[in-house]
Amino acid sequence: MTETPRPDPKQAQCLTSVRVRDLPLLADIGINPDEIGRRQPLVISVELKLSGGRVDGIEHTVDYRRIAQAAEDLAAVHIPLIETFAYRLGEQCLGFRDVVEARISIDKPFALTRGLAGVEVVLRN
């Protein structure tokens, strides 16, 4: 039986996941007349896949605060749909260094009287 050679660790492919989970925000979101101009709670989770290889310093990754700030900035302007919010946040995250995939999940806790409404958007470079 022939043993499969192990890859040289110096040349190994590496994907790093950077996550911000369950970030609570008040956002100007909605399409109904009673929602417009009224901030509503959202819960946002972001997972970014980075292709840059080994991470030895903050300059080789995405600072979590940049992700949170991008979400907070979007929450300050009126966006009709959480799908649109998720897509725009994903687009911004794809602009960060070495990001090859952005997975954005948004829950809108009070959209339904029972249950939890939400969306997930995945964008890839």
Q: Give the pLDDT confidence score for residue 94 in this predicted structure.
A: 98
**Residue 54 binned pLDDT confidence (cut-offs 50, 70, 90):** confident
Euclidean distance between the first and final Cα of the chain, in Å?
41
Query: Looking at the chain, which runs of residues are DSSP E strands?
Result: 16-28, 39-50, 99-108, 117-124
Averaged over 61-74, what is the pLDDT? 96
Q: Which long-range contacts link 54-57 to residues 24+ away (Cβ below 8 Å)? A: 54/14, 55/16
CATH topology of domain 14-124: GTP Cyclohydrolase I, domain 2 (3.30.1130)
Structure tokens at 43: 């819960």
Report domain extents, the chain. Answer: 14-124
Higher pLDDT, 45 or 60: 45
% of the chain surpassing 70 pLDDT? 90
**This model's pTM is above 0.75:** yes
